[in-house]
Amino acid sequence: MQGAGRRSSRIQLTAFTKKLRPLTLSRALPHVGESVSVLAYPMGVTGMVAKSPAVVYERLSSHPDNAETAAELAALSLIRPSATFGHIGDVTGDKLIYDAPTARGGSGGPVLNLSGEVVGINSAYIDGFSGGTLGITAAELRPLLETAKRAALETATKESGVRSQVSVVR
């Protein structure tokens, strides 16, 4: 960041103090009866405010569900996922059916096996049906990741004028 005149200063922002490692995609489809956990942020900022301590809830409950409210929660280390546990009920083609409960806004969270590998992505729930949570398999996720990596490479190549190669483990 440049200051006025000759004076200048630098600002360094650090988002995390610990390095996070990416989740591993499972190479195998889960089996019926296999235990799974689902991580999600159902109900968005509203849900996180509802789970916050009373003093924070009283202050933020009337705030809108937006980035500013989320930033206040983050500053207080109150952005935490909801974790639920269940079992695979069926695997049909590209879909998983499991009984780990979720709610509106929980789509997109990982479905993890007991080894912590991603076996699917939470996508929907069937209201009024116990055991009716749906996800897509990790196998269906791989082509999407490959497409995203290629698009990122193309963008980086256009910006830098350098040609590189990206490979995705299948």
**Coil, helix or strand for 32?**
coil
Number of alpha carbons in the 13 Å side-chain half-sphere of residue 80: 9
Residues in the chain: 170
Interval 113-137: pLDDT, tens: 999 999 999 998 877 776 678 899 9
Instruction: Tally Cβ neighbours within 10 Å of residue 106.
Output: 25
State percent of the chain over pLDDT 70.
82
Strands of the chain, DSSP E: 35-40, 82-92, 95-98, 110-112, 118-125, 133-137
Looking at residues 147-169, what average pLDDT do you find?
Answer: 71
**Coil, helix or strand for 147?**
helix
| Average pLDDT along the chain | 80
Six-digit token pair at 109?
A: 């969270």
User: Does residue 167 carry a pLDDT above 60?
Assistant: no
Whole-angstrom distance between the N-terminal and C-terminal Cα of the chain? Answer: 43
User: Does residue 86 carry a pLDDT above 80?
Assistant: yes
User: Does residue 142 carry a pLDDT above 80?
Assistant: yes
Instruction: Pick the closest to residue 108 from 147, 141, 151, 67 (CA basis).
Output: 141
Domains and CATH numbers, the chain: 35-155 (2.40.10.10)
Q: 111 and 99 in contact (C-beta within 8 Å)?
A: no
Structure confidence at residue 161 (pLDDT): 61
Q: 105 and 40 in contact (C-beta within 8 Å)?
A: yes
Interval 27-71: pLDDT, tens: 999 999 999 999 988 777 888 888 889 999 999 989 988 888 888
Enclosing H/E stretch for 151: helix 138-160
